[in-house]
Amino acid sequence: MKDTVGMPQTDSADTLAADALAGFQADQAAEATCVVCGSPSTTQPTDPRPSVSSDVDAAGLPATLPTLQLCDEHWSAYHTDWLLLGWCVDHYAEALRFCDVHQQNVPPL
């Protein structure tokens, strides 16, 4: 901390690091796409994350699932139970469909 005319200033390295992190998070959010159709995601920070059962090890799920990225159409379908999501190795996908990346059916969450 430096003192200039009685007002403390933060170190410029701290400010640069905080700005870089904020920029990275904004870039990630801007590039996020819907896990079902690939359209731009409309996920908001207040949107719920899918919950997992207490038996995550047996199901092969991560302890904490990442933020779910969906477009408006698929959020609506998810909230009205017209869309069943699953977890395939390392990503969300529409459940009970075939994953071309991992060559397997996607089990529901």
79 within 8 A of 44, measured Cβ to Cβ: no
Instruction: Determine the Cα–Cα distance for residues 104 and 88; give it in Å rounded to an integer.
Output: 8
Residue 13 has pLDDT above 90, yes or no: no
Q: Where are the domains of the chain?
A: 33-109
Average pLDDT of every residue of the chain = 76
pLDDT of residue 45: 82
What ranges make up the beta strands (E) of the chain?
A: 2-4, 7-9, 85-88, 91-94, 98-99, 104-105
Query: What is the per-residue pLDDT across 37-66, written as a single tens digit (0 to 9) for each?
Result: 999 999 988 887 776 656 656 567 787 888
pLDDT of residue 1: 47
**Which of 5-14, 47-56, 75-84, 99-108 has the weakest average pLDDT?**
5-14
pLDDT of residue 99: 92
